[in-house]
Amino acid sequence: MSVLVEDYEFWLLDLYLQPIRKLAATGGRITGNVNAQIRWSGETTITETSITSTAWNDYRIQVKRIDLTDPASPMASSLGVFAVTSTKNQDGGSENDTTQQLQFYDLTSFLADSATAQTLTIPAGTDVIAQVQQLCSEVAALQVIVDPDAGMERLRSPLTFEPGTTRLKIVNELLRAGGFFAIYTDSLGRLRCSKYAPPERRPVVYAFKDNALHKRHLPGLAWDEEILRPNEVICHSTSTGDKPGMIAIARNEN
- The count of residues in the chain is 254
The CA-to-CA distance between both ends of the chain, in Å, stands at 49
Q: Are 82 and 105 in contact (CB under 8 A)?
A: yes
Residue 121: CB atoms within 10 Å: 8
Query: Which pTM value belongs to this model?
Result: 0.74
At residue 74, the pLDDT reads 84
DSSP reduced 3-state for 109? helix
Residue 5: CB atoms within 10 Å: 12
Residue 12: CB atoms within 10 Å: 18
Q: Give, for all 254 residues of the chain, the pLDDT tens digit.
A: 456 778 899 999 999 899 999 999 988 999 999 888 999 999 999 987 778 778 899 999 999 998 887 878 888 899 999 999 998 888 766 666 778 899 999 999 999 999 988 999 999 999 999 999 999 988 877 888 998 888 788 999 999 999 999 999 999 999 999 999 999 999 999 999 999 988 899 888 777 666 655 555 555 677 777 776 667 788 888 888 788 888 888 877 76
Q: How many CA atoms does the CB half-sphere of 139 hold within 13 Å?
A: 23
Q: Determine the angle formed by the axes of helices 128-137 and 167-177, rounding to 10 degrees.
A: 170
Q: How many CA atoms does the CB half-sphere of 101 hold within 13 Å?
A: 8
Q: Are 96 and 23 in contact (CB under 8 A)?
A: no
Q: Are 11 and 61 in contact (CB under 8 A)?
A: yes
H-run or E-run covering 98:
strand 98-106
Output the CA–CA distances (angstroms, integers) from residue 156 to 122, 131, 148, 159, 179, in the order listed: 11, 14, 22, 9, 11
DSSP reduced 3-state for 214? coil
Rounded Cα distance between 236 and 147, Å, is 62
At residue 1, the pLDDT reads 47
Which is it for the CA torsion 24, 32, 194, 58, positive or negative? negative
At residue 214, the pLDDT reads 54
Question: What are the backbone angles phi and psi of residue 64, rounded to the nearest 5°?
Answer: -120, 145
DSSP reduced 3-state for 174? helix
